Amino acid sequence: MLFQKLNIIDPILKALKDEGYVNPTPIQEQSIPVILEGNDFEGCAQTGTGKTAAFAIPILQLIYSKQRAQIGSSNIKALVLAPTRELAIQIGENFTSYGKYTKVKNTVIFGGVSQKPQTDAIMAGVDILIATPGRLLDLVQQKYVNLQHIKFLVLDEADRMLDMGMGHDVKRIIAKLPKDRQTMVFSATMPQKILKLIDSILIKPVKVEVTPVSSTIDTIKQAVYFVQKRNKKSLLIHLLKDESFESVLVFSRTKHGANKITRDLVEAGIEAQAIHGNKSQNARQLALSNFKEKKIRVLVATDIAARGIDVEKVSHVINFDLPDVPETYVHRIGRTGRAGSDGVALSFCDREEKQLLTDIEKVISKSIPVIKDHPYVMGKSDVVVSTSGIVKNKDVKKKVSDGKSGKSNYFRRNKKRS
């Protein structure tokens, strides 16, 4: 199907053509017509499936077509709530790209920076406001933001907002909105707390589920290395000697860990920067920009900071630490293999993480292949259990036989296949 078949207006079609968009993704194909008809909407889709365009395109069209006389006024017509500043910024960039021929204005507000540029933009007139909950409530209380004219509400990554303890703020915001509005909720998972929220704010919603979080994209090749914790750094540096690791997103469980991994890589001569909650907004944006523009090869991130990282052609995702929540694994590896391209997701598993690996394999309903030929295999006393069986030291090789390029046989085989 082509975007033209979805009854999208010419100004937006022109912008989509500029972006190189031809065919809608499944979530876009199923969402856009439903939202254009004015229905409340409940969408369940994992990261990398094109959720932002699924709600941005119809909202832009509805504002342009039905409220054109009020475009650029002081009345905010649409509100999009996002859990992190990075995701909010990314959503704002998408609204700007898709709506550049409509004159529909958007702005993004989030904490951690001076509010003056944000309030100046709001005072100048804005149609669509993309916000993190905390900063929005601050500006509402200061009377910079009036929510009484909102016609469209989007909760993006609603599961993450509730996981991050933003549920109370979200409910306070919703209580301030007009009851006569169109509401859209997008979430990668639908736990009970999300379903309760949906029941309380949506009216006869149309429900769409595409690539749920328990599934992983087929274009992503997954593998796991069993390695002692003290050898993870050496294994990471060893892998990054392979030049096919062009654009690598490394996940750390903690902010301190992200900083340490970055220092170790820089000391080894590998261009890397970290992105996490303790970094200033300017530092986070600089690191993300450098990664997008290929000025650095490796970006080291924590899970919360990684929300909203939408970078084309991330060749590899490496889980330096396995996540505590198995569904987070799917979010992480979804940063590669986007828009139908190929990707590789690698995980390091030490003895303490073997149960986490088992939980992940249960959630994705598959065993993750084990790479056995690397220089940092477990010692004789180490036994690692996964759902695919028990892997002991005697079952793996001591060293990579190919010492010329540092590439494992696993990647040589897969490179030949591709």
pLDDT for 388: 40
The strand pair at 272-275 and 316-319 is best described as unpaired
Q: Give the pLDDT confidence of 32-43 residue by residue, as tens digits.
A: 999 999 999 999
Contact criterion met (CB below 8 Å) for 110 and 137: no
Q: What are φ and ψ of residue 54, in 5° steps?
A: -60, -35
Work out the average pLDDT over 197-203. 92
> Which has more pLDDT, 411 or 131?
131
Helix (H) / strand (E) containing 391 = strand 389-392
Comparing 1 with 417, which gets the higher pLDDT? Answer: 1
**What is the per-residue pLDDT for 405?**
41
Whole-angstrom Cα distance, residue 73 to residue 46?
Answer: 35
Nearest to 258 by CA among 270, 269, 274, 272: 274
Bridge partners of 272? 298
Does 83 have pLDDT greater than 60? yes
pLDDT at 108 over 50: yes
pLDDT of residue 368: 95
Residue pair 275/305 in contact (Cβ under 8 Å)? The answer is yes
399 CB-contact burial (10 Å; exposed 0-12 / middle 13-18 / buried 19+): exposed
pLDDT band at 220 (very low <50, low <70, confident <90, very high): confident
Higher per-residue pLDDT: 251 or 339: 251
Does 214 score more than 70 pLDDT? no
pLDDT digits (tens, 9 = 90+) for 359-418: 999 988 889 999 998 999 876 555 444 434 333 333 333 333 333 344 444 444 444 444
Contact 368, 357 (CB under 8 A): yes
Please, which contacts does 114-119 make with residues 24 or more away whose CB atoms are closer than 8 Å?
115/139, 115/144, 119/144
Segment 13-18 shows an average pLDDT of: 95
Residue 110 has pLDDT above 90, yes or no: yes
β-strand pairing of 389-392 with 383-386: antiparallel
Does the structure show a pLDDT above 90 at 170? yes
Q: Which of 7-16, 147-156, 206-215 shows the lowest per-residue confidence on average (mean pLDDT)?
A: 206-215
Q: Which long-range contacts (CB under 8 A, 24 or more apart) does 379-385 make?
A: 379/228, 382/226, 382/228, 382/351, 384/226, 384/349, 384/351, 384/354, 384/357, 385/354, 385/358
**pLDDT confidence of residue 71:** 77
DSSP state at residue 371: P
**What per-residue confidence (pLDDT) applies to 383?**
45
Of the two residues 243 and 404, the one the predictor is more confident about is 243
Q: At residue 3, does pLDDT exceed 70?
A: yes
Q: What is the pLDDT of residue 123?
A: 94
pLDDT at 390: 37
Question: How does strand 206-210 pair with strand 316-319?
Answer: unpaired
As a whole number of angstroms, the distance between CA 139 and CA 175 comes to 16
Residue 216 pLDDT greater than 80, yes or no:
no
User: CA quadruple 251, 256, 262, 265: dihedral positive or negative?
Assistant: negative
DSSP code per residue over 103-129: T--EEEE-SSS-SHHHHHHHHT--SEE
Task: Please write the tens of the pLDDT for every residue from 264-301.
Answer: 999 999 999 998 877 877 888 889 889 988 999 999 99
In three-state secondary structure terms, 344 is strand
User: 217 falls in which pLDDT band (50, 70, 90)?
Assistant: low
Contact 156, 183 (CB under 8 A): no
**C-alpha distance across the termini of the chain, in Å:** 27
Residue 360 DSSP one-character state: H
| Percent above pLDDT 70 for the chain | 85
Output the pLDDT for position 326: 85
Confidence band for 201, pLDDT divided at 50, 70 and 90: very high
Question: Mean pLDDT in the chain?
Answer: 85
Higher pLDDT, 173 or 311: 173
Task: Identify the residue with better confidence: 46 or 226.
Answer: 226
pLDDT value of residue 54 = 95
Tell me the longest C-alpha to C-alpha distance in the chain.
74
Tell me the pLDDT tens digit for each residue of 47-62.
667 889 999 999 999 9
